[in-house]
C-alpha cells in the first residue's frame, strides 16, 4: 500500500529556511516600501514566514526559494490591501447608518438652546455639528470641506456630540436628560436652568 505524502505541507529544508532568514532585511524593505508603517510590514512578513514554514516543503533549491517567497509576499500584500479596503468600506457603511439625519419632527423639536451653546464648544466641534446635524450635510462632504478623512470626521462628530451633551446637561438640567423635546430653559438666564 503506497502512502502519498503532500510535500508542500512539509516544512522546507534547513538550507531554504537559512536562505529566507538571510534575506529578512531585504524582504522587510520590500514590504515597507509598499505599506504605511514598519509595524504593518513586520506583521505581513511574520505571517509570510509562518506560511513558508507550513507550505514551503516543495521548494528544495534555496535560490528559487527567494523568488517563491517574493511571490508569497506579493500575494500577502494583495490580501492586506483587500482586507484594508473591505474594513474601510464596512466602517464607512456603519458610520453612514449611525449618522442618518434625524426625522423632520425630531429635528423641529431639538432644543433651541443648541444654537446658543455651539459657540461654547471647540470651534472644530461646533463646525462639524453645525454642518452635519443642523445643515444635514453628508459626512463625507463635510470631511472633504474640512480637509480631514471621513474616519476623522466620524470621530470628531462623535466627540462633538458628547461635548454638546455635557453642555446641554449643564445648561438645561433635567430637560436635556429627558430628551430636550419641550425645553423651556433660557440658556442666557442667570441660573441657566429650565423654567
Long-range contacts of the stretch 173-180 (C-beta < 8 A, 24+): 175/111, 176/111, 180/110, 180/111
More confident residue, 71 or 13: 71
In this prediction, residue 106 carries a pLDDT of 46
The percentage of the chain sitting over the pLDDT mark of 90, rounded to a whole number, equals 26
Q: Which CATH architecture is the domain 104-177 placed in?
A: Orthogonal Bundle (1.10)
List, for residues 14-53, the tens digit of each pLDDT value.
888 888 899 999 999 999 998 889 999 999 999 998 888 8
Highest CATH level, class, for 7-98: mainly alpha
For the cut 90, the answer to whether the pLDDT of residue 62 exceeds it is no
List, for residues 79-130, the tens digit of each pLDDT value.
888 888 877 777 677 666 655 555 554 454 455 667 778 888 999 999 998 8
* CA 167 – CA 38 distance, rounded (Å): 42
* CA 162 – CA 6 distance, rounded (Å): 58
CATH 1.10.10.10 segments of the chain: 104-177
3-class secondary structure, 40: helix
CATH 1.10.1740 segments of the chain: 7-98
More confident residue, 62 or 6: 62
Amino acid at each position: 500500500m503506497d502512502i502519498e505524502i503532500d510535500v508542500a505541507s512539509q516544512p522546507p529544508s534547513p538550507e531554504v529556511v537559512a536562505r529566507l532568514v538571510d534575506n529578512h532585511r531585504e524582504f522587510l524593505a520590500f514590504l515597507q516600501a509598499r505599506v504605511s508603517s514598519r509595524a504593518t510590514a513586520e506583521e505581513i512578513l511574520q505571517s509570510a514566514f509562518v506560511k513558508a514554514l507550513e507550505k514551503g516543503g516543495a521548494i528544495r533549491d534555496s535560490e528559487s526559494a527567494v523568488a517563491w517567497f517574493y511571490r508569497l509576499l506579493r500575494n500577502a500584500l494583495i490580501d492586506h490591501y483587500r482586507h484594508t479596503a473591505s474594513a474601510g468600506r464596512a466602517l464607512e457603511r456603519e458610520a453612514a447608518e449611525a449618522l442618518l439625519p434625524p426625522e423632520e419632527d425630531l429635528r423641529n423639536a431639538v432644543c433651541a438652546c443648541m444654537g446658543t451653546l455651539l459657540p461654547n464648544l471647540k470651534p472644530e466641534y461646533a463646525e462639524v455639528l453645525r454642518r452635519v446635524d443642523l445643515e444635514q450635510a453628508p459626512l463625507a462632504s463635510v470631511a472633504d470641506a474640512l480637509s480631514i478623512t471621513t474616519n476623522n470626521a466620524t470621530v470628531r462628530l462623535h466627540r462633538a456630540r458628547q461635548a454638546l451633551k455635557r453642555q446641554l446637561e449643564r445648561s438645561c438640567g433635567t430637560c436635556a436628560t429627558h430628551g430636550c423635546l419641550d425645553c423651556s430653559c433660557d440658556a442666557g438666564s442667570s441660573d441657566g436652568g429650565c423654567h
